[in-house]
């Protein structure tokens, strides 16, 4: 009989997985798997359990939010490539950005079927100063909300565009003077209130680029930089650009481009988030694309 390791975060989202467990396990059994179930009790546990045990199984399925997925992927990449099982993902978090990008179904039964029997798809993974990420590494405006907000209140967060809209009424928004170098040649410098390197359609509910432009396995990331607004009209321009999924010229308020490697240098320590979790504080950060490093189960 095939063996499946099921790792889940019981606290993700509104603890939705508690009501899903019987149906999930029934589908796994129906698909011919003997399932080992492991609920995580602490931060980092999904990664350590994955590294220690996943190599002994035919399929690994993780269930939780973007943070749980990030930990599981990090644990997988610590294994030799030939020891990594295909990963299935059942999202139960607050935003589930990467699940939207993967086009995963919504019903419990369909999610379980895809997780344990979906078509394996190779996707790129990011390395942000040694921290693995599946969909985004970012700095700046409100990026600390996801990791500083208690789990019980995460469900109250709105879409990123509306966060920006509210932020437009604030004063003294911090900015960072950055020197950005992409793929060893492209150079951009200036003050930025927000920046992200992503492999996703959605971050906090904000659509970054049209679906036909975001390729999960092309070895390149989408990079977005936002400069400080100086007038209310600047804010309107920034919000309109983000909602319309449009970047401007390199000296405009919103700059977007693609790259496989990006380095950021600042004259002060900058805090980064990695898939919504705190990713360290540094003056220099290099982000590298790891092409097709992960096999994840998809519906198509």
Q: In whole angstroms, how far apart are CA 218 and each of 64, 86, 122, 215?
A: 27, 19, 10, 6
CA-wise closest residue to 177 among 264, 293, 55: 264
Contact 1, 33 (CB under 8 A): yes
Beta strands in the chain (DSSP E): 2-8, 33-39, 59-64, 86-91, 119-128, 131-133, 136-140, 176-182, 186-192, 194-198, 202-203, 206-207, 221-226, 254-259, 261-274, 277-298
Q: What is the C-alpha separation between 228 and 247, in angstroms, rounded?
A: 15
In this structure, the number of other CB atoms found within 10 A of the CB of residue 281 comes to 12
Q: Is 185 helix (H, G, I), strand (E, B) or coil?
A: coil
Q: What is the C-alpha separation between 54 and 296, in angstroms, rounded?
A: 14
Alpha-helical runs (H) found in 118-231: 145-148, 160-167
Contact 276, 67 (CB under 8 A): yes
Q: What is the C-alpha separation between 226 and 106, in angstroms, rounded?
A: 33
Q: What is the C-alpha separation between 32 and 104, in angstroms, rounded?
A: 22
Q: What is the C-alpha separation between 68 and 90, in angstroms, rounded?
A: 10
Which residues are known catalytic residues?
A: 277
């Amino acid at each position: 009989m095939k063996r499946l390791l099921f790792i889940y975060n019981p606290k993700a989202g509104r603890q939705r997985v508690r009501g899903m467990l019987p149906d999930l396990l029934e589908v796994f059994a129906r698909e011919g798997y003997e399932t080992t179930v492991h609920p995580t009790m602490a931060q980092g546990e999904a990664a350590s359990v994955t590294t220690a045990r996943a190599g002994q199984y035919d399929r690994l399925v993780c269930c939780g939010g973007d943070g749980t997925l990030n930990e599981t992927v990090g644990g997988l990449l610590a294994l030799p490539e030939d020891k990594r099982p295909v990963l299935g993902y059942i999202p139960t978090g607050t935003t589930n950005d990467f699940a939207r990008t993967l086009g995963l179904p919504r019903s419990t039964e369909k999610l379980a079927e895809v997780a344990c029997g979906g078509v394996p798809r190779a996707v790129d993974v990011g390395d942000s100063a040694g921290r693995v990420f599946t969909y985004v590494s970012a700095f700046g405006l409100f990026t600390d909300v996801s990791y500083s907000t208690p789990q019980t209140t995460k469900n109250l967060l709105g879409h990123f565009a509306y966060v920006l809209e509210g932020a437009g009424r604030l004063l003294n928004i911090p900015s960072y003077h950055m020197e950005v170098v992409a793929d060893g040649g492209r150079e951009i410098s200036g003050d930025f209130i927000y920046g992200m390197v992503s492999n996703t359609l959605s971050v906090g509910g904000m659509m970054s680029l049209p679906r036909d432009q975001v390729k999960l396995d092309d070895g390149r990331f989408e990079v977005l930089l936002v400069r400080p607004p100086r007038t209310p009209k600047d804010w309107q321009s920034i919000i309109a650009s983000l909602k319309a999924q449009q970047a401007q010229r390199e000296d405009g308020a919103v700059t977007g481009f693609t790259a496989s490697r990006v380095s950021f240098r600042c004259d002060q320590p900058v805090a980064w988030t990695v898939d919504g979790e705190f990713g360290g504080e540094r003056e220099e950060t290099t982000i590298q694309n790891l092409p097709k490093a992960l096999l994840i189960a998809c519906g198509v």
